[in-house]
């Protein structure tokens, strides 16, 4: 992991994914790391945290994810928005996206896919369900280790509304609720 | 549909769901409508639009959704935040949540589940995939008709971060992108 990262309790993971931020998904296959931008993901279970996601079979990451059954979901704050779009606009088939875009891969603890040093959270994941891969490119992942960068306080995330238009987290609302 | 609603092209649906807003999910079974709050959902396909969601088997809506295979996903703007939390804090097993919370059910065109008049978008859905229901409570829905309230311009949505804490859409970012 990055030297600045601290372990995040797995029971806290859903709070980062449930709001629906754009994330990066990293894979590593045959010694080669790759990264893609992703917005089609959701929580499936609180703990152990399960996340479903769609990784198109047209994406270069698809084969690595299906083969290795490992990935990292890295969550960027708004300062990385330009890099997130740059990640989405090139293919790992042609370039080393980490060096092209200017992101730093760092080793995780439990999976071969790298963490992204610049992101405020990184989730090491293993694929646990593949029945809907053929029909929908839908993977279910279990988060097996989670990291948080304590230097990034109250990060604002970005939410994709299509064609490079994003909503950035604004005002925070707190309403008394019985729901987790 | 509500008299003020206009049909939204199905190819535009993903722009509303991809950012990850809290939504309401309505069902109707044996003549009785119900509504729940939901944040665990994601796009699966652009067109026809497919949406995956988790509806817990502990929720009263679960049985209606599994039995009727129909629902409506209604998207509330921030002005409805208090009502969204109120929806999450009571059960349709005990009360008529529409009248308790003060939301207006209106008939849809293709499904029995009602639209929510106060929401700025309503998506009529049919269940198209149930293989992951038993293990994960995961349904895949096809949006068969979509509605938009033209009177609600540039609505800001809310994103749940746990226990009644929400991020409201803030600043809009536009970055040239090749991605839809």
| Residue in B78, B159, B177 nearest the CB of A20 | B159
Burial status of residue B42 (CB atoms within 10 A of its CB: 0-12, 13-18, 19 or more): buried
B94: confidence class by pLDDT, cuts 50, 70, 90: confident
- What ipTM, to 2 d.p.? 0.96
Q: Strand pairing partners for B157?
A: none
* Interchain contact B13–A (C-beta under 8 A): no
For residue B82, the distance in angstroms to the closest alpha carbon of chain A comes to 7
User: Is 90 exceeded by the pLDDT of residue B37?
Assistant: yes
pLDDT at residue A104 tops 50: yes
The average pLDDT across A74-93 equals: 95
Q: To the nearest 5 percent, what fractions of chain B are helix, strand and coil?
A: 20, 40, 40
What is residue B31's predicted lDDT score, i.e. its pLDDT? 86
Say yes or no for a CB contact (<8 Å) between A175 and B21: no
Residue A1 pLDDT more than 60? no
pTM for the whole structure: 0.97
Rounded Cα distance, B169 and A170, in Å: 5
Decide if B139 contacts B3 (C-beta within 8 A): no
Token code pair at residue B159? 């994103």
From residue A161, alpha-carbon distances to A19, A130, B10, B167, B174 in Å are: 14, 28, 15, 16, 10
Q: Which of B44, B82, B161 sits opposite A19 (nearest CB)?
A: B161
**Is the Cβ of A53 closer than 8 Å to some Cβ of chain B?**
yes
Q: How far is A168 from chain B (nearest CA, A)?
A: 5
CA nearest to A162, candidates B146, B173, B168? B173
Using alpha carbons, select from B159, B130, B163 the residue that is nearest to residue B62. B130
Concatenated DSSP letters of A68-108? H-EEEEEE--GGGHHHHHHHHTS-TTTS-HHHHHT--EE--
Alpha carbon distance B172, A80 (integer Å): 15
pLDDT at B1 over 50: no
Tell me: pLDDT of A2 over 80.
no
Q: Find, among B147, B98, B148, the residue nearest to B125 by Cα.
A: B147
Specify the residue for token string 């309503």: B122
The answer, yes or no, to whether residue A17 has pLDDT greater than 50, is yes
Provide the mean pLDDT of chain A.
96
- The predicted model gives B30-54 an average pLDDT of 97
Q: Is the pLDDT of residue A3 over 80?
A: no
Mean pLDDT of all residues belonging to chain B? 96
Q: Is residue A52 within 8 Å of residue A39, measured between CB atoms?
A: no
Q: Is the pLDDT confidence value at A69 over 70? A: yes
Q: What is the mean pLDDT of residues B57-65?
A: 94
């Amino acid at each position: 992991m990055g030297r600045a990262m601290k372990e995040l309790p797995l029971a806290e993971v859903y709070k980062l994914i449930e709001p629906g931020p754009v994330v990066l998904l990293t894979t590593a296959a045959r010694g080669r790391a790759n990264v893609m931008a992703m917005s089609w993901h959701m929580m499936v279970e609180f703990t152990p945290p399960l996340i479903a996601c769609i990784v198109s079979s047209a994406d270069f990451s698809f084969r690595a994810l299906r083969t290795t059954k490992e990935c990292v979901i890295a969550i960027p704050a708004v300062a990385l928005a330009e890099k997130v779009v740059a990640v989405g606009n090139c293919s790992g088939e042609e370039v080393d996206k980490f060096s092209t875009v200017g992101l730093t891969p760092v080793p995780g603890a439990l999976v071969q896919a790298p963490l992204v040093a610049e992101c405020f959270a990184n989730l090491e994941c293993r694929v646990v369900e593949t029945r809907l891969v053929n029909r929908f490119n839908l993977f279910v992942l279990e988060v097996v280790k989670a990291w948080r960068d304590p230097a990034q306080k109250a990060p604002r995330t970005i939410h994709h509304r299509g064609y490079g238009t994003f909503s950035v987290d604004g005002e925070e609302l707190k309403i008394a609720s019985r729901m987790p």
